[in-house]
Structure 1
Amino acid sequence: MRFLNVTLIKLCLVFLLGILFGFYAEFSSGSIIVIFGSVLFFFIFTFIRATKNVFQDFFFGITAYLLFFAIGLVTVHLHEPKNQPNHYIHYSENVNSEDIIKVTITERLKDGFYAEKYIAEASEAYKNTSEEETLTRKKLTGRILINISKDLTELNLKVGDKLLIPAALEEINQPLNPHQFNYREYMKNLGVLRQTNISKQQIELLKDENWHFKAIAEKWRNKSISSLRTHSFQPEDMAIIQALILGNRREISAETYENYAAAGAVHILAVSGLHVGIILLILNWLLRPVEFFPKGRYLKMAIIVLLLWAFAFIAGLSPSVIRAVTMFSFLAIGMQLKRKTSTINTLFMSLLVLLLINPYYIFQVGFQLSYLAVFAIVTIQPKLDNLYSPKYKITDYFWKILSVSIAAQIGVLPLSLYYFHQFPGLFFLTNLVLLPFIGFILGVGILIIFLALINALPDFLADFYGSCIAAMNSFVDVVAAQEAFVLTDITFSALIAVLAYLLIVAGIMLIHKMNFKNLSFFLFAVIFLQCGLLFENYNYRQAEAVVFHKSRGTVLGFRNNEILTLYTSENIQPDKELFLKNYEVATKANTVTSNEMQSIYNFSGKKLLVVDSAAVYKIPDFEPNILLLTNSPKLNLDRLITELNLHQIIADGSNYSSYVEKWKQTAENKKIPFHYTGEKGAFIVSSKPE
């Protein structure tokens, strides 16, 4: 590829490896200082040595790579909460009921069934000193998840609001069933390590003014939404407008979101690289006359970058918007300066800057998909475009859209299958129809918001725009209804995703330069992928018994290879339980047989006795190894343990918590392992397949 700076890309990749190594390896602050100091010293030494040599110095190259690797390590170390002295995790371990924390709301999340959800930044702690009856102040940092229980009235806190909340914080719950979405890990990657579940009565809203940019941006976004609500937009159309232009997806219904996902158009609902890229092209076209002024190209560059960040401001300065605008700001500067540089160089430079600011971006799905999509478009689309040369401009236009869609889909496919386990077969049709109009919808949408803010939006224009959004929604609904083209429940592991990307990179290298080296790399990538698939299939061939966690219900699963037999209590409908669907997809258990609960089970030589509310446990000629307690049986567990030779006791989610606590204490006194699925998650026993 022309003007490709291979050294820059290699340095960025080494920096990326340093970040990954920093997250998965433990280093003390002293070790980090020694490592970075040593590498920096050798880098300076080899740099001075290289300047005196006529030919390129091999050692300077090595130390340059080591330096970028060390910078990745340092970046992670500085951003990890445990290495920040004022982070609240160092404070929240020793608090009492009267201690309070001052926080500032930084983001509102989509509400849950029972709670309003916010992310807040801690600023100060006030600790009660009982002897003097005074409060001592301590400076704090760190993001907290705040769950405020709903009642008849909504609190509707705004970004920038300052609160006093109880200082007692809890860990975010881990998934209690295998292969469930890990919400704790998701929040950790957003920099949130603790949560608090409180009522509105436990909150004190302060009157302090807050002037940080995000609060002002949220204020203007809310003002824009309020201005739009004065016009006759339908609720679902209004939700799409907010998501498409203002980055607010909280009001989109689950059904609409699923339809966009099934149609392969879910990327339209998140303000990201697609939107910012289109806005960049529109601004570049509109501001062409500026180039005729003295230093016009520099003026145009400054105006474009300023307007891109103005759009980010109106969209609420969400992380996805900031990432996209940062990426395309680099690209805009390169376009206007007309330097002989590759888009890939710009892409990797923005990647380097963003990860220096926040290395946790590397684990965020939106960040991964955005960069992979752009990388695939830049490297694959030109080759696809050259495969066919239409005679007519209109045909060429649609062919370019199709080639861009295919390239982007290739780039994100492995990750999409890994995270979402589905593939929209009609994505090309959706993009062929929608992408030509996205620029128009974005441009007119921004104009409509501006006119609404100054109370100058005519009703006919609002009605026309609402009709356009409604037509787009109707088209997406029609495409999503073609269920035969939506491939769902696809099993795709992290290992296979990595090997698939290895194959994609090898394929890109091969199509750009056909030689023996690249062909060999491609063939080896094919072999590695095949070996990975064989390894995964071998791992799926096993037997396991699972006592799932289900609140107020009992679910037992016995899997032998791909056959899963379920035993459930009467109140459970297996086909409607998401945690069972996740388990089936992850283990390739396509055949599910549901049966009524029994009292005795035998699995791989282990005998399981189920004792329910009837409290019957004396079964002739049966000596269980494992006891499962369900539906809160009233029994004397001490006596039961004496009569039965048990190796393990399990209590599932159908039991009263007060009963579980008593059983746990009794098991500890008898020195028998006790497993409560509400605390430790599902109980799993694995063995060789039968």
Structure 2
Amino acid sequence: MKIFTNNPALKLLIIIILGIIIGNNYDVNDAILLYIIILAVIISFIFVLFKKIFPAYLILGLTIGFCISAQLNQLSFNTPNKIIPTSSALLEGRIVKTLKKTSYSYRCIVEGKVDHKALPLIKNTNVILNIKGLNKNPIELFAGNDIACPVKIRLPHKAVLPTEINEEQYAASIDVQWIADASAKKISIIRRHNDINFYRELVVSEIERKIDLLFSEKNFGIILALLTGDQTRVPQTLRRDFSLTGTTHVLSVSGLHVGVIAAVLFILLGFVRMKWLKLVFFTILVSAFVVMTGMQPPAIRAGIMAVIALLINTTQRRVSAINVIALSIILVIIFSPNLIYSMGFQMSAAAMLGIAFLYHPFRKALLNLIKLDNKVSNYIISSIAITFSASIIVSPIVAYYFKVFSIISPIANIFIIPLYSIAMIFALMAVGLSYISTWLGLAYASSTDFLIALSVWLNKFLLKIPLSSLEGNITILFSVLISIGLIYALLSNSRKQLLFRLGISVCVCYMSLALYNGTTDKREIKIYPRENYVAAFVPISENKTFILLSDRKPAQYPSRDYSMERLLLENPDSLVIGYTGNVGINITDKLKYRRSIQHFPVSLDLQIKIEKVLNIETHLP
């Protein structure tokens, strides 16, 4: 095909993906992998000698994919599909990244060794460490600190509830193998190192101080996320509102923000006449921004893509956007294979490939549909084509992870993306100029606050539109059908064909959803196993559900289950909750002040009756 002939990087990316899929079915050690690489290089060299380029290309691509797959297999644990409780261990290592910091807790990634009494000493492993009690035992913790402490450690869990993230996938995406909890009073700081992570946190702390000084309190979390990549201060309600309109990517450092920074840097470096010197400065500054914002996967992809684009411009070669995107993806997955598991990287790569493949056909279809030819209409049509190209590919991924499908997303992105792009530039100028003049900084900060307030108002207005978004498991099917239908319609060659295909797509979507709803029983009993208890959701009537919270073992001070609390708060049914122990009491106490529920302790006699009705051979836990 012509598209593969003109885009060798795309062809290589597809071959590498095929190699990853093949390698995923085999578990090989380092020695065998080395033999495979040597053999592949020899065979490829022989093919090149006989001028058989494609077979050599194919073998090398498959070998690269096989090597990436081998690295991915080393990152994953083959754990049984059971809930493995926490256990005691000793952790010693270096803090390499701060994930979240508050006055009472500190979450970070520690690289070091785990000494578990039931396992041999585990070296060179990464752990997400949650340190609590800093308000009672204040200690200064930074990236670069070597620490030692006793911990309660466990493997990452799979997602059980609809309201919780898949810890396994998240941990794999950041190359983490364990999750641990520790008390602040038991942390020992062995030594402090002033490495790149330490200096990054110093810069971030200074930026945070400036943001606190210049911007309004309600926008503090958003500005911090835009400039440093720290999303922990963004209010959960705001993040949810933006996710329902498909614009949540503007609240974090994504490929969009790196693109804006790259464009600004390119303009600012216009005075540098030597092209190669400009490339060097550009690469250093873009890399510094990516590092400062926490090396977010979309930012890494966008940074590599920006540098490749300028390199091509410097060498004055004509290369398609598809080639640039494919090459940037290849470089990312070769040097950081774990980012394949990152949903941020997946969505970023999918959005860029969608724009590269679909923008021009979509723009042509929209021009056929809307017979206008002026600057305003062309800008609007181009904006719609870009947002549709990205949203169509990304929406099934979003629906898979978040069970949300935003119908209003293309329209929302047209308005909100420009507002946040300008707000980000103004925020950077406010922080930078504040070192020259506080009044100049405050002037740009006020403009930034206005733009963010306008975007939040606009987002809430769009949410009021009926059927602006859908939630639940059905969104996966709906998003796939809508995406296929829109691609089918917008690849039309004429206005009549476009309208006909739109009609066909609507009919197919409607019939498929009707069939899905007719074969799905929404009122089924659901069992959710948790570490300390089991939750059973039993429908009583159309709008009423009985929930049994049964403790696995006595727990005097059970930890909170925020995911379960959120699931119960969002449940639209009238809830009747029965509990057998302290875990259930704890969950009920947190709920009864936030929503109307009926609750009661389940007596031993009632537990026995439930066992008989459900034909349970062993006693309820």
Which category describes the TM-score, using the shorter chain as reference length? 0.7 to 0.9
Distance 1:169 1:552 in 2: 15
Identity of aligned residues (%): 18
Q: Does 2:57 match 1:64?
A: yes
Matching of residues 290-689 of structure 1 within 5 Å: 290=272, 293=273, 296-386=274-364, 387-388=366-367, 391-452=373-434, 455-481=435-461, 482-485=463-466, 486-492=468-474, 540=520, 545-549=525-529, 555-558=535-538, 566-568=545-547, 577-579=565-567, 612-615=602-605, 624=612, 626=614, 647-651=617-621
Runs of at least 5 residues in structure 1 that lack an aligned partner in the other structure: 52-56, 85-95, 129-137, 514-524, 585-590, 600-609, 628-645, 652-690
* Aligned with 1:142 (options 114, 125, 138): 125
- The corresponding residue for 1:107 is 98
- Preserved contact between residue 554 and residue 568 of structure 1 (Cα < 8 Å): no
Distance 1:77 1:494 in 2: 30
The structure-2 alpha-carbon separation of the partners of 1:527 and 1:62, relative to structure 1 and needing over 3 Å to count, comes to farther
1:14 is displaced (CA, Å) by 1.7
Q: What is the CA-CA distance between 1:246 and the residue it aligns to?
A: 2.2
Deviations 1:119-171 (CA, angstroms, capped at 9, x unpaired): 1222x67899xxxxxxxxx9932211101123534546222222122377432
Shift of the 385–76 alpha-carbon distance from structure 1 to 2, 3 Å rule, reads same
C-alpha separation in 2, matches of 1:595 and 1:200: 39
Within a 5 Å distance, the mapping from 1:207-218 to structure 2 comes to 207-211=191-195, 213-218=196-201
Residues 420 and 451, structure 2, Cα contact 8 Å, conserved in 1: no
* Structure 2: tracts of 5 or more residues without a match: 78-86, 495-504, 551-562, 581-599
Return the offset for 1:380.
2.0
Rate the CA distance shift 1:99–1:450 in 2: closer, same or farther, 3 A. same
1:219 paired to 2:198: no
SS of alignment partner, residue 536 of structure 2: strand
TM-aligned CA distance change 1:595 to 1:6, over 3 Å = same
**Cα 1:570–1:32, aligned 2, differ >3 Å: closer, same or farther?**
closer
Task: Give the corresponding residue for 2:594.
Answer: none
Amino acid in structure 1 at the alignment position of 2:316:
K
* Alpha-carbon distance between aligned partners in 2 of 1:21 and 1:494, rounded to the nearest angstrom: 27
1:183-222 CA distance string (max 9 Å, x none): 23321332111122110122111333232x3332222122
Per the alignment, residue 251 of structure 2 pairs with 269
Aligned to 2:20: 19
- Give the secondary-structure state (helix, strand or coil) at the position aligned to 1:103: strand
Pick from 159, 167, 190: which aligns with 1:206? 190
Q: Report the 3-state secondary structure (helix = DSSP H, G, I; strand = E; otherwise coil) of the residue aligned with 1:181.
A: coil
Say whether residues 1:256 and 2:233 are aligned partners: no
Deviation of 1:369 (Å): 0.9
Partners in 2 of 1:381 and 1:282 — Cα distance? 24
Q: Which has the larger Rg?
A: 1
How much does 1:309 deviate? 1.7
Q: Partners of 2:237 and 2:288 in 1: how far apart? A: 32
Give 2:111's aligned amino acid: E
Post-superposition CA distance 1:293-329 (Å, at most 9, x none): 4xx3333333322322232244344444323212221
Give the superposed CA RMSD.
4.6
Counterpart in the other structure of 1:44: 45
Indicate the structure with greater helix content.
2
**Structure 2 counterpart of 1:15, which letter?**
I
Query: Which deviates more, 175-184 or 10-19?
Result: 175-184
User: Partner letter of residue 647 of structure 1?
Assistant: E
Letter of the 1:186 counterpart: Y
SS of the equivalent of 1:142 reads: strand
Alpha-carbon distance in 2 for matches of 1:504, 1:29: 46
Aligned to 2:318, what secondary structure does the other structure show? coil
d(CA) in 2 for partners of 1:369, 1:556: 34
Shift in Å, 1:3: 9.9
Greater mean deviation of Cα atoms: 7-16 or 528-537: 528-537
The whole-number CA distance in structure 1 between the counterparts of 2:270 and 2:436 is: 27
Q: Secondary structure at the match of 1:61?
A: helix
- Deviation of 1:534 after TM superposition, in Å, equals 9.6
Q: SS of the residue aligned with 2:203?
A: helix
**Structure 2 CA distance for aligned equivalents of residues 439 and 67 of structure 1:** 40
Comparing 350-359 and 371-380, the one that deviates more: 371-380
C-alpha deviation, 1:25, in angstroms:
4.1
User: What is the CA–CA distance in structure 1 between the aligned matches of 2:614 and 2:116, rounded to whole Å?
Assistant: 47
Alpha-carbon distance between aligned partners in 1 of 2:127 and 2:407, rounded to the nearest angstrom = 40
TM-score normalised by structure 2 residue count: 0.76
Using the alignment, how far apart are the partners of 1:546 and 1:127 within structure 2? Answer: 35
Q: Label 1:456 to 1:417 Cα distance change in 2 as closer, same or farther (>3 A).
A: same
CA distance in 1, matches of 2:296, 2:150: 27
AA of the residue aligned to 2:17: L
Residue in 1 that maps onto 2:498: none
Deviation at 1:409, TM superposition (A): 1.6
- Match for 1:241 among 223, 227, 252? 223
C-alpha change, 1:444 and 1:617, in structure 2 (3 Å) is closer
Classify 1:80/1:217 alpha carbon distance in 2 versus 1 (closer, same or farther; 3 Å). Answer: farther
SS in 2 for 1:488: strand
C-alpha distance in structure 2 between counterparts of 1:260 and 1:623, whole Å: 45
Corresponding position: 1:165 with 2:177:
no
Instruction: Name which of 110, 114, 119 aligns with 1:120.
Output: 110
Instruction: Give yes or no for contact 1:99–1:166 (8 Å, CA) kept in 2.
Output: yes
CA gap of 1:176–1:391, structure 2 versus 1, over 3 A, is closer
Cα separation, 1, equivalents of 2:405 and 2:476: 17
8 Å contact kept, 1:385–1:400? yes
Q: Deviation of residue 442 (structure 1)?
A: 2.9
What is the SS of the residue equivalent to 1:108?
strand
Q: 8 Å contact 1:626–1:650 — kept in the other structure?
A: no
SS of residue in 2 equivalent to 1:381: helix
Q: SS of 1:245's equivalent?
A: helix
Residues 1:406 and 1:103: Cα distance change in structure 2 (over 3 Å): same
Q: 2:211 touches 2:224 (CA, 8 Å); kept in 1?
A: no
CA contact (8 A) 1:263 1:426 kept: yes
- TM-score of the pair, normalised by structure 1: 0.69
CA deviation profile, 1:226-280 (whole Å, cap 9, x unmatched): 2333x34222222221112222222111122223323433221111211121222
- Which has the larger displacement, 255-264 or 477-486? 477-486
The answer to whether the 8 Å contact 1:109/1:119 transfers is no
Aligned partner of 1:73: which letter? F
Partner Cα separation in structure 1 for residue 15 and residue 506 of structure 2? 25
Structure 1 pair 495/98, CA: closer, same or farther in 2 (3 Å)?
closer
Contact 2:275/2:314, CA 8 A, preserved across alignment:
yes
**Residue type of the partner of 1:67?**
L
Distance in 1 between the 2:351 and 2:155 partners? 35
